[in-house]
Amino acid sequence: MSGRFITLEGGEGVGKSTQIRALATALTARGIDVVTTREPGGSPGAEAIRALLLEGSDDRWTARGEALLFAAARADHVARTIRPALARGAWVLCDRFVDSSRAYQGAGGGLTDTDILTLHRIGSEGLLPDRSFLLALGADEAAKRLSVRDAAGADRMGSKPADYQQRLAARFAEIAAAEPGRWRVIDAGGAPDAVTSAILAELTPWL
């Protein structure tokens, strides 16, 4: 069986981590070699950069500096984790990838899509997922989930204001609509097991 690269995307609090775990369990039960990973992070070098990106005040980095750090982390992640796993036939499930940079640094940081994709082409040789899932959540439910998470201490990305989160959701929707061959939009407002089932249904042709 050939390797597949699957990413889960969306704003803060949509349940990506929960779905990655559930998908890994379901695919492993089908005899598939599964690698779960995340961004920023996923390799020793990328994890070191993750600490720089997610800690500190909201204005710790400029938008361009932040984009460069994400691109550097992703380059290491792709070279040391993602490509080797795909080469041996594993399915890679990744919590965020370059589309998060397109949304966060694009909608929120003022960089163009061309800027971000150019960095991606240089750092990661333009690797794109076979399938990307956008976990979509209504603004009210997203705010409710974030308020719960904020009580536990949010990182730099999760602590951004509500208007930023709304711009972020709109940008993700634009990216998904522009590439319907790669993207599937999943309603993340239901029960977690229902969301998992919806994602698996979209992967059925490959199973």
Q: Give the pLDDT band of residue 201 (cuts 50, 70, 90).
A: very high
Most confident residue range from 7-21, 57-71, 145-159: 7-21
So what's the pLDDT on residue 82? 98
Per-residue tokens: 37? 């990973």
Comparing 20-34, 70-84, 136-150, 166-180, the range with the smallest average pLDDT is 136-150
Angle between helices 192-203 and 16-29 (to 10 degrees): 60
C-beta of residue 133 within 8 angstroms of C-beta of residue 196? no
Average pLDDT over residues 126-131: 98
So what's the pLDDT on residue 193? 97
What CA–CA distance (Å, rounded) separates 76 from 82?
A: 9
User: Measuring CA to CA, how many Å separate 172 from each of 49, 84, 155, 176?
Assistant: 24, 28, 20, 6
So what's the pLDDT on residue 74? 98
Average pLDDT over residues 119-144: 90
On the question of pLDDT at 156 being above 60, the answer is: no
pLDDT tens digits, 95-106: 999 999 999 887
User: Measuring CA to CA, how many Å separate 112 from each of 40, 70, 103, 117?
Assistant: 20, 15, 10, 9
Question: Counting every residue, how long is the chain?
Answer: 207
So what's the pLDDT on residue 194? 97
Q: Give the pLDDT band of residue 43 (cuts 50, 70, 90).
A: very high
C-beta of residue 105 within 8 angstroms of C-beta of residue 67? yes
What CA–CA distance (Å, rounded) separates 207 from 200?
A: 9
So what's the pLDDT on residue 205? 94
On the question of pLDDT at 151 being above 60, the answer is: no
Average pLDDT over residues 68-93: 97
C-beta of residue 107 within 8 angstroms of C-beta of residue 170? yes
On the question of pLDDT at 39 being above 90, the answer is: yes
Comparing 51-60, 69-78, 91-100, 114-123, the range with the smallest average pLDDT is 51-60
Q: Which domains does the chain have, with CATH numbers?
A: 4-206 (3.40.50.300)
Residue 57, Cβ neighbours under 10 Å: how many? 8
So what's the pLDDT on residue 154? 56
